[in-house]
Amino acid sequence: MILIIAMIAIPAALAIISIVVPSRISGPLTALGGLCTAACIIAADLGGASGVRAPDALSAIFLLPVAIIYGTVGLYTHWYVRAESPANSEGERYRREFLALTNAFACSEIIVPLLTNMGGLWVALETTTILSALLIRLQGTAAALEAAWKYILIASCGLAFGLVGVVLLYVAGIGPLGDHHIPQWSAYIGAAAHLNPDAVRLAFIFALIGFGTKMGLAPMHAWLPDAHGAGPTPTSAMLSGALLSDALYAILRFAAIANLAVGHGLSHILFFVVGLISLFLAAFFLLQQRDIKRMLAYSSIEHMGVIACGLAFGAPLAVAGALLHAINHSASKSLAFFAAGRLTERYETREIAGIRGGIATLPVSGTLFALAGLSLAGLPPFGIFRSELMILGGGFQSGSWILAIVVALLLAVAFAGILRWVTTTSAGSAEGEIHRGERFGAAIYAMLLGFIVVLGLGLVVPPQLTQLLERAIAIVGQAS
């Protein structure tokens, strides 16, 4: 319990501290706080002798992406706020606001997987939207304003659909659980057989549309490339790496109830539809993208599509792959955003055409960007390769041969797109007078830490994580 309190209290306290103390103090504190929180989450998830200390294994799984992101974002932000703001009072105001909002956003992202009350879950997700919209507009540019506006409007309207899902689930539970029940996930699971099946079906559809909007699933993804592309780099990493996973967590809670109450058919079909549309759309946008951060945003849509397809296949291997993919994607995507942020800062452009010879210009950041790109493309020995293989293997195992082949083909298209921009930006030498070389500092340590996770998860899945995955599969209720 202490660890749970600590993982919420640290970022919450840092959010308040960042407003009142100078950024030269709150910056390092945020870096330290991020690492401490990550340690608390990992200890709570994997270190306990008596098992998981989070509400259950599914919560524990979805705390891990936040741990990876906040642990590295804290460090990276320490460099970012100084690099991106002038050393005057206006810059100091920006730094304080940025650090406070980043810590508050991390806190809200941690709270989401800890909640199993469906109403509370909705409130926490809406809170993440509000905080992240404020972070996106902090850039102060017209593009940032446009992205923030589209994001908060689309995500809030989408989440209203999610709230309809919560209300309908409550209605479904009135018969077996009473007029005044607490909308607790475990209560619905316990009474699944007696829930009103029609209301559960409709609740799941609304939840998938609502929380799927937040997860960036096509065709509800319109906000994602703008917000991830125009937002500050650490915010993009937090949005892509942790927030999408939070939304996935909410969907899985609904899916678990729907699977038990009305069978797997509905969730499988719907996951297939949104998964394949997302994959198709992202794969082709990846081929023709010109903006390096929007490229990474479309890659997020692609990977959310892969996860949805994994859930749709339904075989335990595929579901385990989907859950593991959420963790792998978080690690690789945050690393890619961090490194892209270093490149865009040095080249002073986000246009892929303007970035050449990334490795020669920034030996560490450029190399890590190329490696993160290869990881996102699904190459071994990185974690994403493993989880994609598990998803496809699960697809064949479940007998969905044609769909598994379609997914594999779309992944190949995305692979080609990503590989194209990785080679374009990384190889060769920079045009014009671009300063070469980089000094070791917080940003590089953050990226190296991220890279260790990306590579580590590819080489070995810790036995504690395997146990968590097995228990989480049973919770999702997809294992047949």
Partner 1 sequence: MPLHHLSVPEAVAGTIAALLLLTQLALFRSVVLSELITLYAVQSLFVACICLDVGLVAGAWDLIALAILTFLFKVIALPIYMRRLMNGVSTRVEIPSKINVLLSLLIAAALVGIGCLTASQLPLKTGAFLPIADLATMLSIVFIGFLVAILRPNAFAQVIAFLTLENGVFFGAVTLAPGQPFVVGILVLFDVLVAVVVFAVLVRILVAIRSSAATAQLQELIG
CB within 8 A of 145, min separation 6: which ones?
137
CB of 352 to partner 1, least distance (A): 12
CB of 111 to partner 1, least distance (A): 12
CB of 179 to partner 1, least distance (A): 4
Contact 263, 322 (CB under 8 A): no
429: left (phi over 0), alpha (psi -120 to 50) or beta: beta
What's the rounded Cα separation, in Å, for the pair 273 and 216? 14
**47, 86, 175, 380: which one binds partner 1 (CB under 8 A):** 175
**4, 104, 107, 134: which one binds partner 1 (CB under 8 A):** 134
**150, 264, 303, 329: which one binds partner 1 (CB under 8 A):** 150
CB of 171 to partner 1, least distance (A): 5
Q: How far is CA 475 from the centre of its chain?
A: 21
Total H helices, total E strands in the chain: 20, 0
Q: Does 19 bind partner 1 (CB under 8 A)?
A: no
Applying the rule CB under 8 A, the residues between 280 and 309 that interact with partner 1 are 285, 288-291, 294
Contact 110, 7 (CB under 8 A): yes
Q: Quick one: 315 or 352, whose CB is closer to partner 1?
A: 352
Which listed range, 23-31, 146-154, 251-259, 383-391, lies at the site for partner 1 (CB under 8 A)? 146-154
Return phi, psi of residue 350, to 5°. Answer: -105, -5
Q: Quick one: 171 or 379, whose CB is closer to partner 1?
A: 171
Total residues binding partner 1 (CB under 8 A): 54
CB of 64 to partner 1, least distance (A): 26
Contact 15, 62 (CB under 8 A): no
Applying the rule CB under 8 A, the residues between 247 and 286 that interact with partner 1 are 285
CB within 8 A of 144, min separation 6: which ones?
136, 137, 138, 230, 231
Which listed range, 38-46, 223-231, 262-270, 404-412, lies at the site for partner 1 (CB under 8 A)? 223-231
CB of 101 to partner 1, least distance (A): 11
What's the rounded Cα separation, in Å, for the pair 346 and 94? 21
Q: Quick one: 48 or 120, whose CB is closer to partner 1?
A: 120
What's the rounded Cα separation, in Å, for the pair 294 and 271? 24
Q: How far is CA 71 from the centre of its chain?
A: 14
Q: Does 146 bind partner 1 (CB under 8 A)?
A: yes
CB of 173 to partner 1, least distance (A): 9
**127, 397, 424, 464: which one binds partner 1 (CB under 8 A):** 127
What's the rounded Cα separation, in Å, for the pair 373 and 382? 11
Joined tokens for residue 250: 């909410």
Q: Where are the extended beta strands (E) located within 114-220?
A: none
Q: Quick one: 168 or 260, whose CB is closer to partner 1?
A: 168
Any idea of the CA torsion for 220, 398, 267, 413, to the nearest 10 degrees?
Answer: 0
Which listed range, 43-51, 129-137, 271-279, 331-339, lies at the site for partner 1 (CB under 8 A)? 129-137
- Helix, strand, coil percentages (3-state) for the chain, rounded to 5, are 80, 0, 20
Q: How far apart are the first and last CA of the chain?
A: 33
Q: Does 93 bind partner 1 (CB under 8 A)?
A: no
Amino acid at 153: L
Contact 459, 242 (CB under 8 A): no
Q: Does 221 bind partner 1 (CB under 8 A)?
A: no
Amino acid at 415: F
**181, 367, 396, 474: which one binds partner 1 (CB under 8 A):** 181
Q: Quick one: 13 or 160, whose CB is closer to partner 1?
A: 160
Half-sphere exposure for 130 (CA within 13 Å, toward CB): 9
Contact 251, 215 (CB under 8 A): yes
Question: Which 3 state secondary structure label does DSSP give 33?
Answer: helix
CB of 222 to partner 1, least distance (A): 10
What is the Rg, in whole angstroms, of the alpha carbon atoms belonging to the chain? 21
CB of 198 to partner 1, least distance (A): 5
CB of 3 to partner 1, least distance (A): 25
Q: Does 174 bind partner 1 (CB under 8 A)?
A: yes
**109, 126, 246, 388: which one binds partner 1 (CB under 8 A):** 126
Which listed range, 106-114, 159-167, 254-262, 409-417, lies at the site for partner 1 (CB under 8 A)? 159-167
**85, 156, 367, 464: which one binds partner 1 (CB under 8 A):** 156
CB of 133 to partner 1, least distance (A): 6
List of residues contacting partner 1 (CB under 8 A): 117, 119-120, 122-123, 126-127, 129-130, 133-134, 137, 142-143, 145-150, 152-153, 156-157, 160-161, 163-164, 167-168, 170-171, 174-175, 178-183, 196, 198-199, 202, 225-226, 229-230, 285, 288-291, 294
